Structure 1
Amino acid sequence: MSRLVLLTRPGCHLCDVAKEAMARVSEATGEPWDEVDVETDLELETEYGDRLPVILLDGREHGYWRVEEERLLRDLRRGGSAR
C-alpha cells in the first residue's frame, strides 16, 4: 500500500473533491496514492462512518473532510505525518 491513502465511499461529493486534490499532490511529488472504499471494510466503516474523506499518511490520520494540500505537501517532503 502507498504512503498516501484516501478513505472514501461511493456518492460522497467531498470524496470527489479530495480525489482531485490527491491527484494534484501526487503530480507535484511523484508520490502515488491509494483509494479505499470504507464500505468494503466493516472496521473502517465503523471507525470513520460519515467522517469522510479521510487522508492517511504513513498509516496515520493526516486530515478529514478536505485535503490540506500545502500541509500534505510539506509533510511529504519532511518524510512524515507531523502536524
Structure 2
Amino acid sequence: MHKITLYTRNRCPLCDKAKAAILELQEEWEFKLEEIDIETSDELTEQYGLMIPVVYLNDEEVGYGFVDKFDISNRLQEKNRIK
C-alpha cells in the first residue's frame, strides 16, 4: 500500500486545502495518510518552514506550497503501473 506523508502546521490555510484534496483522493486510491506537524521539531521547521504544505508519496516529494490533487492522482497512477 502506498503512503502519503503531509508535512503541515497549525493555522495554515494551504495545509488545510492540501489535506482536503488528499482526503478526496482516498475515494479513488488506496493509501495510508500520515500527517506530521513540523512545529513539533526544530529540524522539521527549518527544513520545511517556507515550503509547507509538503507532500511525499512513499519516499518521493511530489508537491509543496499549492498542492495539486490531479498531479498527486497522476503520481499514484504511475506508481500503480510500476508495481
Q: What band does the TM-score fall into relative to the shorter chain?
A: 0.7 to 0.9
% identity of equivalent residues: 34
Residue 3 of structure 1 aligns to a residue in which SS?
strand
The structure whose residues are more often strand, as a share, is 2
Using the TM superposition, give the Cα deviation of residue 51 of structure 1 relative to its aligned residue in structure 2, in angstroms. 1.4
Using the TM superposition, give the Cα deviation of residue 38 of structure 1 relative to its aligned residue in structure 2, in angstroms. 0.3
Q: Counterpart in 1 of 2:40?
A: 40
Q: 5 Å matches for 1:1-83?
A: 3-79=3-79
- State the Cα RMSD in Å: 1.6
Whole-angstrom distance in 2 between the partners of 1:45 and 1:26 = 27
Structure 1: segments with no counterpart, 5+ residues: none
Structure (1 or 2) with the larger CA radius of gyration: 2
Letter in 1 for 2:16: D
TM-score, normalization by structure 2:
0.84
Using the TM superposition, give the Cα deviation of residue 11 of structure 1 relative to its aligned residue in structure 2, in angstroms. 0.6
Structure 2: segments with no counterpart, 5+ residues: none
Letter in 2 for 1:64: Y
Using the TM superposition, give the Cα deviation of residue 3 of structure 1 relative to its aligned residue in structure 2, in angstroms. 1.6
Larger mean Cα displacement after TM superposition, 11-20 or 67-76: 67-76
Question: Can you list the C-alpha shifts for 1:52-82, whole angstroms capped at 9, x where unaligned?
Answer: 11111112211111221112111112118xx
